[in-house]
Chains A and B, each alone.
Chain A
Amino acid sequence: MENTSRRELFRIIGGSLVLSAAGSGVLSPALAQHVHAEVAAVKSLSAGPNYVPKKFTRHNFLTLKTLGDIIIPGASDAGAAEFIDFLSSHNDELAAIFNGGFGWLDNYMQKTYGADFLNATSAQQTELLDKLAYEKNRTPETAAGVHFWTWTRNMVVDAYYTSPAGVKDIGYMGNGAMKVFSVPQEAVDYAIKRSPFANEG
């Protein structure tokens, strides 16, 4: 069973379905669990240093990786930049949002600090990002960057939390097979104690 490929497992499941329709067998929870585990086993999502960006210049791609890790530490390893590059290579509207944004970002940084985003100090990077991220800090000079910022932030969040690292970080423990569904009493007690029903017994 250990060497069974995913494709093979799906074929087995398909076969089980046919069998079960005839009433002669059902897919066992153990097999289902094995399938879930096999499907979950994947390598790092970051393509590594030799990745050639599909739609962005190398410089802009590295800018995106840096931005990603500032937004969500670990986003780069979770393949956030590759995700955005991939989709931009399939959608011109998205590519325009990002390429336009990179252009605006470096231009703003050059004018303000004399260095592009990648070569600016982390204090300078943060100074700008705080102006983009918080409504109260926004100025007419940074207004044009907010759209790009919002897109980057949303897509980095999406990429990270749809990666194994993100799933682990928030503690999603599902996508497995169980014989019986149960709810840990510890979790129920935790929520009840913190709720308005705490004193109801």
Chain B
Amino acid sequence: MFQVQRTPEVHDVVVIGSGAGGGTAVKVLTDLGHKVTLLEAGPMLDPSKDFKEHMWPWEVDHRGVGPNAENYFGKDIYPFGYFLAPNGFWELPGEPFTVAEGSSFRWFRSRILGGRTNHFGRISLRFSDYDFKPQEFDGLGTDWPVTYQEMSPWYDKAEEFIGITGTHEGLRSAPDGKFLPPVAPRVHEQLIQRAGKKLNIPVIPSRMAMLTKSINGRAACHYCGQCGRGCRTASAFSSSQAMVFPAMKTGRLNIISGVMARELLIDSSGKVSGVSYVDKATRTEKTIRCKAVVVAASACESARLLLNSKSSQFPNGLANGSGQVGRNLTDTVGHAVSGVIPALEGTPRHNSDGIGGMHVYVPWWELDKKNKDFPRGYHIEIGGGFGMPQIGTFRKVAARSEGYGAKLKDDIRRFYGSQVNFSGRGEMIPNEHSYCEIDPAQVDQWGIPVLRFHWQWSENEIQMVKHMHKTFTDLIETMGGHVTSPDLPADAVKAVSVGGEIIHEAGTCRMGDDPKSSVLNKWSQAHEVPNLLVVDAAPFNGNPDKNVTLTIVANAWRAAAHLAEEITKGNV
């Protein structure tokens, strides 16, 4: 048997997970004077050691392939490249999940302080008014118990704290916020803006969580373009550096890293009384007692924790009287097309690094169009420019070029900087076939039952991907370029990203006014358990074409502020 150690001390609030949601809860609660204990499944983060910002590929013998040539053989030890921030894995040794027959699903999990915010794309888009009321808008999906008007001040707070670039455009599909100055569009981005003008597609300054001026004690960006590697100056937002580290200085935050939450414990009144967890290094079982728990382990991990917290009071899992925990699982609809633009070949060289990622993007532009093949929409993310050469950068041009010697060198020189990429990021409407549940027959290495995923794209998403493919092709051809990606397959569902692959899982503990059909109330508080909150993307009633992080932060901020009030009033 495991040795169970008890801590008699009762903590104010335990937060489980330190990504966008957990980091926000930690920041808000400690700022308001509450004592918080943070449980993190991974290790602590040390940016000066863990981030590979500024490194050239030749500084390591393997140049970034991996010390055992892993990436050449499709092995996934560095999911997005050796130089990226320690971020997580598609497969975690000893921590499996299962996928039901007939489904495909990939599950990216972070195990480090700050979670996925250490490396995420930092695209920061507000949801629109209709995103909160989708059923009212077109009859599909479920309305949120909050409106855009209610969320807007929390978006303000989030943006003013994080620091987000942008411009006021007055578009319903891309609500304006509190923006820092935008960054000048690169050469290829200016060509794309011209193509967009011809095609009536708006190409506007991107909304990114990088500081174009110093705010809140964080340095302004120095435009090395390496945000994905982790930013040592914290000029690109991460919850670890911007939220958790400062909270440590308040003296009100206690961090327990390297632990896996097993179960939430309840008392006879049905409230959460503590958390049972495994200390991974010593394999000891521990419990921590507290007045309230904020779960922010990522949508699917949070659902897993609730479903695994069974008791006589909650036989179907904690706060799961509605049966909705694990249901309504969504991810973003992804599809990408690349092309080569001859006009860009031989462009005079200059430093085009800028902020990591795009300087302009395309918000959804056909909101008011009638007779579409699919409801809702997508935004377009843009890639291109003179990036730092990496392993594989010239694989495609080398394959096309065939030759060797001076000819190959010339071809590569000409090609460099002439490629553009378009990635569609579209809305998936929740469906009854996409959900996660506890696998009845498998546990992980800690003995915690694992998740089993069910997944199905609907006709909506398939039609959307066809629209993406045509739009990206039109953009490339309008610039005088040609597409280098494969044609859309006859069976277009094959062109949709695999569920989970875009790493925007949401919706497993949806919020609502009716406890019969929702898990959480409008404050992300469990209907059945008032001192239990879930503040990652699990509360989302849908997955609009806006990337989840900014809304996770805004919603978590609102929820944590409400929890603080309730604690002060003695209601929790």
Give residues in A with beta carbon < 8 Å to B. Answer: 10-11, 13-14, 16-18, 20-24, 26-29, 32-33, 35-36, 39-40, 42, 45, 70-73, 79, 82-83, 86-87, 90-91, 93-94, 129, 133-135, 153-154, 157-159, 161-164, 166-167, 169-179, 181-184, 186-188, 190-192, 194-197, 200
Choose among A42, A90, A187 the residue that contacts B58 (Cβ–Cβ < 8 A).
A42
Contact A79 B402 (CB under 8 A): no
Nearest Cβ in chain B — how far from A23, in angstroms?
A: 4
**Interchain CA distance A71-B233 in the complex, whole Å:** 40
| B434 close to A (CB within 8 Å) | no
Contact B57 A173 (CB under 8 A): no
Contact B354 A181 (CB under 8 A): yes
A174-B388 contact given A40-B56, A133-B403, CB 8 Å threshold: yes
The binding surface of chain B is classed by DSSP as loop
Q: Which among A10, A16, A91 has the highest number of chain B CB atoms within 10 Å? A: A91
**Interchain CA distance A91-B409 in the complex, whole Å:** 28
Q: Which residue of A lies closest to B390 (CB)?
A: A162
Contact A83 B63 (CB under 8 A): yes
Counting chain B residues whose Cβ lies within 8 A of the other chain, the interface size class is 35 or more
Nearest Cβ in chain B — how far from A136, in angstroms?
A: 9
Q: Which residue of A lies closest to B73 (CB)?
A: A93
Choose among B219, B348, B350, B412 the residue that contacts A157 (Cβ–Cβ < 8 A).
B412
Contact B233 A183 (CB under 8 A): no
Contact A158 B217 (CB under 8 A): no
| B502 close to A (CB within 8 Å) | no
**Interchain CA distance A178-B187 in the complex, whole Å:** 18
A86-B408 contact given A21-B245, A27-B219, A29-B222, CB 8 Å threshold: no
For A184, what are the chain B residues with a Cβ–Cβ distance below 8 Å?
348, 350
For A90, what are the chain B residues with a Cβ–Cβ distance below 8 Å?
62, 67-69
Q: Which of these binds chain A: B391-399, B447-455, B514-522?
A: B391-399
| B561 close to A (CB within 8 Å) | no
Contact A23 B217 (CB under 8 A): yes
A175-B353 contact given A134-B402, A161-B393, A183-B186, CB 8 Å threshold: yes
| B249 close to A (CB within 8 Å) | yes
**Interchain CA distance A67-B47 in the complex, whole Å:** 41
Contact A161 B350 (CB under 8 A): no
Contact A21 B63 (CB under 8 A): no
A162-B220 contact given A79-B58, A83-B63, CB 8 Å threshold: no
Contact A134 B403 (CB under 8 A): yes
Nearest Cβ in chain A — how far from B392, in angstroms?
A: 7
Q: Which residue of A lies closest to B391 (CB)?
A: A158
Contact B184 A182 (CB under 8 A): yes
Contact with A along B356-397 (1 / 0, CB 8 A): 000000000000000000000000000000111111111100
Interface residues of B in 202-235 (CB under 8 A from A): 214, 216-220, 222-226, 232-234
Choose among B56, B61, B69, B416 the residue that contacts A170 (Cβ–Cβ < 8 A).
B416
| B191 close to A (CB within 8 Å) | yes
Q: Which among A72, A184, A187 has the highest number of chain B CB atoms within 10 Å? A: A187
**Interchain CA distance A17-B46 in the complex, whole Å:** 11
For A174, what are the chain B residues with a Cβ–Cβ distance below 8 Å?
224-225, 351-353, 386-388
Nearest Cβ in chain B — how far from A18, in angstroms?
A: 8
Q: Which residue of A lies closest to B342 (CB)?
A: A194
For A179, what are the chain B residues with a Cβ–Cβ distance below 8 Å?
222
Nearest Cβ in chain B — how far from A178, in angstroms?
A: 4
Nearest Cβ in chain B — how far from A118, in angstroms?
A: 17
Q: Which residue of B lies closest to A195 (CB)?
A: B343
Nearest Cβ in chain A — how far from B240, in angstroms?
A: 11
**Interchain CA distance A86-B61 in the complex, whole Å:** 7
Q: Which among B389, B402, B480 has the highest number of chain A CB atoms within 10 Å? A: B389
A91-B73 contact given A14-B232, A42-B58, A187-B348, CB 8 Å threshold: yes
Nearest Cβ in chain A — how far from B413, in angstroms?
A: 6
**Interchain CA distance A134-B352 in the complex, whole Å:** 34
Contact B479 A196 (CB under 8 A): yes
Contact B348 A175 (CB under 8 A): no
**13 A–B contacts from the bound complex (CB under 8 Å):** A20-B217, A21-B217, A39-B56, A79-B58, A134-B403, A154-B398, A170-B412, A172-B349, A177-B223, A181-B353, A181-B355, A195-B194, A197-B195
Contact B47 A14 (CB under 8 A): yes
For A72, what are the chain B residues with a Cβ–Cβ distance below 8 Å?
404-405, 408-409
Interface residues of B in 167-198 (CB under 8 A from A): 183-188, 190-191, 194-195
| B344 close to A (CB within 8 Å) | yes
A21-B223 contact given A73-B409, A191-B191, CB 8 Å threshold: no
For A166, what are the chain B residues with a Cβ–Cβ distance below 8 Å?
389
Q: Which residue of B lies closest to A93 (CB)?
A: B73
Contact with A along B528-561 (1 / 0, CB 8 A): 0000000000000000000000000000000000
Contact A177 B222 (CB under 8 A): yes
A-B CB proximity, top 5 nearest? A14-B48, A23-B217, A171-B349, A26-B219, A162-B57
For B249, what are the chain A residues with a Cβ–Cβ distance below 8 Å?
21-22
**Interchain CA distance A90-B71 in the complex, whole Å:** 13
**Interchain CA distance A192-B341 in the complex, whole Å:** 11
For B219, what are the chain A residues with a Cβ–Cβ distance below 8 Å?
16, 20, 26-28
Contact B402 A135 (CB under 8 A): yes
| B59 close to A (CB within 8 Å) | yes
Other contacts beyond A20-B218, A162-B64, A163-B58: 12, CB < 8 A: A71-B408, A73-B406, A83-B62, A90-B69, A158-B65, A166-B389, A169-B413, A172-B388, A173-B350, A174-B388, A184-B350, A192-B191
| B241 close to A (CB within 8 Å) | yes
For A154, what are the chain B residues with a Cβ–Cβ distance below 8 Å?
395, 398
Choose among A27, A167, A192 the residue that contacts B233 (Cβ–Cβ < 8 A).
A27
**Interchain CA distance A192-B194 in the complex, whole Å:** 9
Contact A186 B348 (CB under 8 A): yes
Nearest Cβ in chain A — how far from B118, in angstroms?
A: 14
| B246 close to A (CB within 8 Å) | yes
Q: Which residue of B lies closest to A180 (CB)?
A: B223
Q: Which residue of B lies closest to A67 (CB)?
A: B404
For B348, what are the chain A residues with a Cβ–Cβ distance below 8 Å?
184, 186-187, 190
**Interchain CA distance A86-B392 in the complex, whole Å:** 18
Choose among A11, A161, A191, A196 the residue that contacts B389 (Cβ–Cβ < 8 A).
A161
